Amino acid sequence: MLLLSRSILYLTAMASVVLVPVAGLSQDKAQSPDQEAALAQGTTRTETTTTLERRSVAAQAEREAQPYQTREGRLKAKPLDWNSTLGKPGPAVEKAPVEGKPESSQPGKPSPNAKREAQRLHPEEWRNMKKYGPQGLLQNEGLFENDAPVRLVQVGTADVFSQYCEGCLVPNIDYPEVTVGKLFLNGGFCSASVVSGNNVIVTAAHCCYDRGNKKFIGGWVFAPGYNNGNAPYGTFNWSSATVLNSWINNGDIPSDVCTIKLANDGANHGVTFYTGWLGRSWNFPSDQDHHALGYPGNLGGGNVLELCTSESFGASGACGGGDILNTGCSMTFGSSGGPWVRSYRGSNWVNSVVHGYSGQTCTGTFGQTFNGARFNSGNIVPVCNAAGC
């Protein structure tokens, strides 16, 4: 099915799903302890998703965003260890891969006036882009010291890929690169991408909900086109964050998907005014040509947009099955939530996001292959609908 608009979703939800606010906690008797912990923070829950609204923690959210409003604060952030928020896995559940008709949503371009407006609003950031731009990085910060060698792409093979820096020679301030950004959060940073004209980004659920501590992580600030501490289009605060209940309860890889609705900036522009947005695709076969993008700490210190191109392949039944995708790439911590894009610089469909690593047998060599959730009707569709894609 196609993703629903906000108005259609609202009507459907009113007819079939009751949102449960904190005050109504005692009315829902089917919640697990993890879900009760989530609801205790001021969230709402549907049958499949749990959403934290910024308004329920407004003062705290303002405090948490402050460190990331300056270049110095952004540079101090460390990449999130993708194992640190996974918690203990839930009970193993045998599930066949989600089947459905392959579908996609259309991407969109930014406003023709985006750069001019951004330069007016953020002159210091644009000056810094020149002062601390590619040549400064190359000369002063040893950007390529840890870059992996280019490797020949083969069909769906672990540890095989081509990798290069997408934001080095030319900072990533044009479409579609600018749709990808660094996502700051309490405890570090992940990667994310804009996937809806309604100002929604997608990242990994482990960048949104800490299963070990049974709570939303918070502190989300999105910097599209981030480059060496600079935010040429400013930063965007979160409005709401949505994860699947199956992530909260089980922590399974196919559920490691989170959507974040972004608030407008001080000029009342949504993020898509500056960036446009990528499309989404779901229910496609496991074998796909992908470009995986993100801000890994092991390449360029997490300060430039990195890219791997390779062909994905599904996990075996013993390793979780076809709703888990593996693909060759040298990015590690910090790349969590970064998009895997089909037809990059063409149709630009996000088809997965980075989860992490599940061992040599199930994934491949650490630092040479990582995995993610295959987007399907059971993960990207409900979280995107809840966010208002």
Structure confidence at residue 129 (pLDDT): 84
| 94 CB neighbour count, 10 Å cutoff | 6
Percentage of the chain modeled with pLDDT above 90:
72
Q: What is the pLDDT of residues 211-241, one digit of tens each?
A: 999 999 999 999 999 999 999 999 999 999 9
* Confidence band of 2 (pLDDT split at 50, 70, 90): very low
Phi and psi based region of residue 188 (left: phi greater than 0; alpha: psi -120 to 50; beta: remaining): left
Is the CB of residue 121 less than 8 Å from the CB of residue 267?
A: yes
| Calpha distance 108→197 (Å, rounded) | 7
Could you say which of 1.20.1440.120, 2.40.10.120, 1.10.150.170, 2.60.40.10 is the CATH number of the domain covering 6-387? 2.40.10.120
Phi and psi (nearest 5°) for 21?
A: -75, 175
| 218 CB neighbour count, 10 Å cutoff | 21
Question: How far is CA 28 from each of CA 44, 45, 135, rounded to the nearest angstrom?
Answer: 12, 10, 58
| Calpha distance 374→57 (Å, rounded) | 32
Average pLDDT rounded to a whole number, residues 133-138: 44
Q: Which amino acid is at 42?
A: G
| Calpha distance 67→69 (Å, rounded) | 6
How much is the CA Rg of the chain, to the nearest whole Å? 19
| Calpha distance 262→387 (Å, rounded) | 10
Is the CB of residue 352 less than 8 Å from the CB of residue 290?
A: yes
Q: Which of 347, 356, 296 is nearest to 326 (CA)?
A: 356
